[in-house]
Amino acid sequence: MFRLISGLPGPSGFGSASTAEQVTQGIDATNLTGIITGGASGIGFETARILALRNAHVVIAARNMEAANEAKLLILKDNKNARVDVLKLDLASLKSVKAFADNFIALNLPLNILINNAGIMSCPYRLSQDGIEMQFATNHLGHFYLTNLLLDKMKETAISTGIEGRIVNLSSVAHIHTYNGGIRFKKLNEKNSYDDKKAYGQSKLANILHANELTRRLQAEGVNITVNSLHPGLILTNLFKYYAVLTKILKFFSCFLWKNVHQGAATTCYVALHPNLKGASGKYFSDCNESKPSKLARDAMLAKKLWDFSNKLVNAAENS
């Protein structure tokens, strides 16, 4: 807590006060192509801006194409040599996820970095287009499916270039506040016992478990791709739209715990680009340093069960 409040650097040399520009200073990403979901706003946009600043070819995946094109123009305004593409992606629709993957592969680009950044938080109960609780569908299942669809492209790129691929899942410290047992496999869509905050925590726990199980599978294959998860910190973005008034009150009394967007994107950019993390996989990061997630997040059997459960949901949607 002292390090969080003070901004004192951790073992990595960076801390809660570090910005995305600072943690990527001197890094040349010219040979890298990265996808950022939700890259049109908030820390997703700042992540896209920084990757483009470090010369990576950036693909912004967003549901709102108007906002995505505005984000592209903002990046180009300050960096005329930036390489930025935009593609439509609605993570709450597995059909849209498949269309995005097909459209990206049709561009015939390599893929070195996949940043699963987009998300929603603590929304009222509703179901996705595929009939799945919305926070789980958007925050976890859409990214799970997207990652699987793009994995062969990432493997091909890692082999042909010899460059380590990196997958980054944005989770949250909120993963500790979830339902009993972590994931409600048998009651995922139950409306009567729905708790918006626990549902969010469940989806963020799923992000970590997904990264850990994918790490195990890729390491078993000997694939040169790492997968890590992270907590970006408390940042006042559109995620808090359902609690706007309450959030502003809380921020007033706990201002020392909150980050700005430049600081909020730092851990993502650090995990995605920094050479010090070469080979690091299945880790959880906070404030640009490795951290320890909850006991449930470290449960290998729960991670495997979630993987199988997620595959069943995807297969059911594909065959419906």
- Count of beta carbons in the 10 Å neighbourhood of residue 188: 18
CA distance 75 to 71: 6
> Residue 315: how many CA atoms within 13 Å on its side-chain side?
6
Q: Say what the pLDDT of residue 244 is.
A: 52
Q: Say what the pLDDT of residue 234 is.
A: 82
Task: State the pTM of this model.
Answer: 0.92
CA distance 149 to 159: 17
Superfamily of domain 2-318: NAD(P)-binding Rossmann-like Domain (3.40.50.720)
The domain segmentation of the chain, as residue ranges, is 2-318
The set of residues, in sequence order, having a beta carbon less than 8 Å from that of 60 and lying 6+ positions away, is 36, 39, 40, 44, 48, 68, 71, 72, 84, 85, 86, 87
- Each residue's pLDDT, cut to its tens digit, for the chain (320 residues) gives 445 554 588 999 999 999 999 999 999 999 999 999 999 999 999 999 999 999 999 999 999 999 999 999 999 999 999 999 999 999 999 999 999 999 999 999 999 999 999 999 989 999 999 999 999 999 999 999 999 999 999 999 999 999 999 999 999 999 999 999 999 999 999 999 999 999 999 999 999 999 999 999 999 999 999 999 999 998 764 544 445 554 454 444 444 456 899 999 999 999 999 999 999 999 999 999 999 999 999 999 999 999 999 999 999 998 87
**Residue 31: both structure tokens together:** 């040979």
Q: Give the active site residues.
A: 194
Return left, alpha or beta for 35; rule: phi > 0 is left, psi -120 to 50 is alpha, else beta.
beta
